[in-house]
Structures are given as C-alpha cells and as structure tokens.
Structure 1
C-alpha cells in the first residue's frame, strides 16, 4: 500500500507544478503568439510594444521562477531525507531537475538574450523619426 505524503509536500508539489506551468505558458505565449504579432507592426510601434512586453515579463517571471525553484528544492530536500517510501530514488533527481530547469529562465535571459534585449531596449528610446531613418528593427 502506498504511503501518504505529508501535507507540506502535497502543497509544495501543487505550487511547484502550478508556477512551472505558468512559466511554460508565458514562454510559449511570448514565442508563439506575442512575438509574431509584434513583427507585423511598424518599427516604432513594435519597439514600444516589445519594451512593454519585456518590462512586464521582467516583473512577473523572476518571482514565479523563484517560487517554482524553491518548491522543487524543498521537495528534493525532503525526498533526500525520506530514505524510504515513495519519495526516495528517482523522485529526488526528478525534483532536482525540475528545480534547475525552472530556474534556467533567468540565466538564459541574462546571459544569452542580453545583447538582443539591450539593442531592442536602446532602440526603444529613439524617436519614431530616428527609427525610420535607421536600420530596420527586424534585422
């Protein structure tokens, strides 16, 4: 017969899964919905929309990432201490992997996307006339 997990573990699993799902949804909506629609806009409008989207993501994604990673770390710690029952073995490494992957949003954005984000944010500060005279935002 399966042992019942403590309430704190069930809550951590629920919060971890929910926040990780929200992060995945945000990422997919940016990639599949928002960015393609932005690329249909004229350059000045595109830059304003992208800057607003970026700033909103900057406010919402890091806290969700911290919550998700903390929940997965809590579950991994509990699974490592359990020693027996349903929390041992494969679940420990699954929780560790979930925590690391959930936290990967922030370093990816900071390290990989830093140059692109800086260019777009810099161009977002230009006037519409300066943008139109310069090179395309899409390049």
Structure 2
C-alpha cells in the first residue's frame, strides 16, 4: 500500500527525505573510500616509492575524516528511520495509510544503517589498529626500513578496502528497505 503523500505531515515527508537520502549518501561516501580514495593512495605510494609509514599516515588521515564524518550522518539517518517507524506504528493515523509492516521495515532500515558501527568494531578493528601502528613508525633511512613493511602496509590497506567496501553495503541495504517501506 502506497502512502498518500498529500495526507502525510510535513515532518513525516522530511524524515523520509532525510532517511532515504542520508542512507544513500552514507553508502556512497563509504564506498568512495574503497573504490576511489584508498586505491589511488596505493597507486600514488607505489609511483612515488613512499615509505610504508608515510603511506600509513596518509591512510590514517583519510580514515580520520571518515570516522569523524560518517557516524553523525548514520545517527541522523537512523533517527529519521526510527521516527518513521514510530509514526506508522499500530494505532496511529498513518498506520492505516501504510503497509502493515512499514514500521518493521523502517526499523530494519535504521538498524541496517547503524550496523556500520558494530561492523567496524568487530570486523575492522584489527586491521585499523595495525594500520594505525604502521603510521606511528618513525621515518628512517630507506635502507633501514623494516623488511616487508611496505608489503605489509599495502596488504593491510587492501584488506581495509575490502572490509570498508562491505561496510558500505549496510546503509545501501538500509536505503533499499526504507524505499520499499515508503513505496509499498
């Protein structure tokens, strides 16, 4: 059942826009780090023969930007989806205008969007910590650099690219579930 948008409160329509666009933006932003930023970082490091600690420091700065930027977006997006779920719960005026499972779907969209946090903590912490340790290495003469450090750093970044790419799928699933709730 499609919601008649003309009869929906403005706050409901704004929450739909915030939830759907926020989850889509978040997914794209996270994916861009894996599809564009980190691979370009690896290519540039190889072309310029950067020391592994410099490569790790560049990654650290990029990681920091995402770690500061994305959680508030995820929280705002999830709050919008939770508001939508609350608005269409059983017993409300909007409940009669929406699909019976809309509240469940909006809750699922919120949880999927927020799932970037536990995924980061559970699946990515080991890789993130290892890269942050690489970034702390003291720059020394190129001949004194730990044997295998470059390969290790590059492998860690490649692993991070895959994990981060997988993480981007959570808000993407959130927007798809939220869109389904909004349209059916």
User: Normalising by the residue count of structure 1, what TM-score does the alignment of the two structures yield?
Assistant: 0.89
Q: Deviation of residue 108 (structure 1)? A: 0.8
Shift of 1:18: 2.0
Q: Residue 145 of structure 2 is aligned with which of 113, 132, 136?
A: 132
Task: Please state how far the C-alpha of 1:125 moved relative to its aligned partner.
Answer: 0.9
The alignment yields a C-alpha RMSD, in angstroms, of 2.0
Match in the other structure for 2:62: 53
- Out of 31, 34, 37, the residue aligned to residue 34 of structure 2 is 31
| Cα displacement (A) at 1:77 | 1.1
TM-score calculated relative to the size of structure 2: 0.68
User: Unaligned 5+ residue runs, structure 1?
Assistant: none
> Which structure 2 segments of 5+ residues have no match?
156-184
Deviation of the 1:91 alpha carbon: 2.1
Verify the 8 A CA contact 2:79 2:110 in the aligned structure 1: yes
Aligned 1:10-25 pairs, distance under 5 A: 10-25=13-28
After TM superposition, what 4+ stretches of structure 1 lie above 3 angstroms from structure 2?
none
Distance 2:81 2:145 in 1: 47
Mean alpha-carbon deviation: is it higher for 91-100 or for 128-137? 128-137
